Amino acid sequence: MDAVHPIDYRYGTEEMKSIWSERSKINRMISVEIALLKALARRGYLSEEEVKKAEKAALNITPERVKAIEAEIKHDVMALVRAISEEVGKVSPEAARWIHFGATSNDITDTATATQLRDSLKLLGTKISRLALALTEKAIKHKNTICLGRTHGQAALPTTYGFRFALWAAEVARYLERLEELKPRLIVGQLSGAVGSQAAFGEDGINIEREVMKELGLKPALISSQIIPRDHYCEYLSFLANLSATLEKIATNIRILQRVEVSELMESFGEKQVGSSTMPHKKNPIDCENVCGLARVIRGFVEPQRQSSILWEERDLTNSSCERITLVESSVLADHILTKMIKVVERLEVNEERAKENLRRLMGLNLSEAVMVALTKKGMNRQEAHERVRMAAMKAYGGKSFEESLLEDEKISKLLSAEEIRELLTPENYLGTVKVKIENVKNYVEKLCSKYQNER
């Protein structure tokens, strides 16, 4: 059958898709079953030699065989258990006897999922770090690239592209802090039995669970019923949703600044790249548009996952089908748009001359605050200064130069000379602590990212 879902043929990196693939899930579930056998062997249920035979035999299990069994018995985990027992039984009937002993289905699936979440966070953390560093590099490179700041889409005070990139870099880097805070709550497994009581293992249940989790590189959940409480997964989906919002924000602003009327930023455009099927001149910001579209899909998974937390007593099955989609697709798509945004930022073109031109076109009108502040320092009441400068600005909108309009006001010209006004209307003179803030962000980002860069 041909692929149906775009994730199969269009979206997602092989790195993330391999974590959430069907084969990966099965192998991880097998690892949980083998880890349980090892814990049982240490207690004399079976020998370690039989466990080794079982571990080797389990490598022969295929998704196709598991599906074939499931088609008969209508239970996916039990199908895997039978497939394992089938293969292990060929070399060690004794080991096959103890497969899945004391466990329930979600002991296996939730614990396997914990390993997927762990590996996903590691991959995401590395890429978040790379994006934050790429933005920081742009911030340092363009700390002196002056441009027009805009609020409400209208001309505001001057800023620099370095400051703009630094703002984005700090926001992206904060996800590394959130990721580290999330890990201990999210990356937990369980071996709790049918209702969480570990009754099949008696008083040794806590120790067996701890050993199984240690074998898998996990920590045991503090307490669980038949399943890991789903607030863990809700937090993960919320993390991805928030990350997607930040990436969409950056992508949206790049798109705005790439508009032909602005043309200060530009996505890289390949030599043979085509922008439109009918307009050969087009150079569209397709990667940023891709990020924006898929970010909305990711955020759409938050509510279904929250609904999956609302289960009957020790559990029902309403979460299962939902989570086969929410966890997988949100992880793959988040990684996809993060990878896209890294590419966009690393290859992003900044048109410095166009930025200066857009700023010069205002002839200082956007520096009204600088004049107001100077008048207040010279002795004028701040509110009066605001009104007089506002009136001069309104005249400038009518076609007269702002400098000329200011000098026509006798109270303003009495306090400020033409030369002083000219200096006040020079954008480079009104950047405040921009460079200091950029340097602060650089130090913050590099400190956060050092751990992830060492892990690459």
Catalytic residues: 152, 276
Alpha helical stretches, state H, 160-313: 161-186, 205-216, 231-258, 286-300, 302-307
Secondary structure element (H or E) that encloses residue 154, with its range = strand 154-160
Which residues have C-beta within 8 Å of that of residue 6, sequence separation ≥ 6? none
What burial class does residue 151 get, using C-beta atoms within 10 Å of its C-beta: 0-12 exposed, 13-18 middle, 19+ buried?
exposed
Task: Round to whole Å and give the CA distance between 218 and 424.
Answer: 61
Task: Round to whole Å and give the CA distance between 8 and 321.
Answer: 19
Any idea what DSSP says for residue 311?
-
By the 8 A CB rule, do 448 and 145 touch?
Answer: no
For 329-350, give one letter per residue: b (16+ CB within 10 A) or e: bbbbbbbbbbbbbbebbeebeb
Any idea what DSSP says for residue 147?
E
> What Å distances lie between residue 108 and 11, 51, 221, 316, 447, CA to CA?
29, 18, 13, 16, 38
Any idea what DSSP says for residue 259?
S
Task: Round to whole Å and give the CA distance between 117 and 123.
Answer: 10
- Tokens 């924006």 correspond to 292
- Phi/psi of residue 131, each to 5°? -65, -45
Rg (Cα) of the chain, in Å, rounded? 30
By the 8 A CB rule, do 341 and 247 touch?
Answer: yes
Secondary structure element (H or E) that encloses residue 219, with its range = strand 219-220
Tokens for 242, please give them: 């928030």
Which residues have C-beta within 8 Å of that of residue 387, sequence separation ≥ 6? none
Query: Whole-angstrom distance between the N-terminal and C-terminal Cα of the chain?
Result: 37
For 20-39, give one letter per residue: b (16+ CB within 10 A) or e: beeebbbbbbbbbbbbbbbb
By the 8 A CB rule, do 367 and 424 touch?
Answer: yes
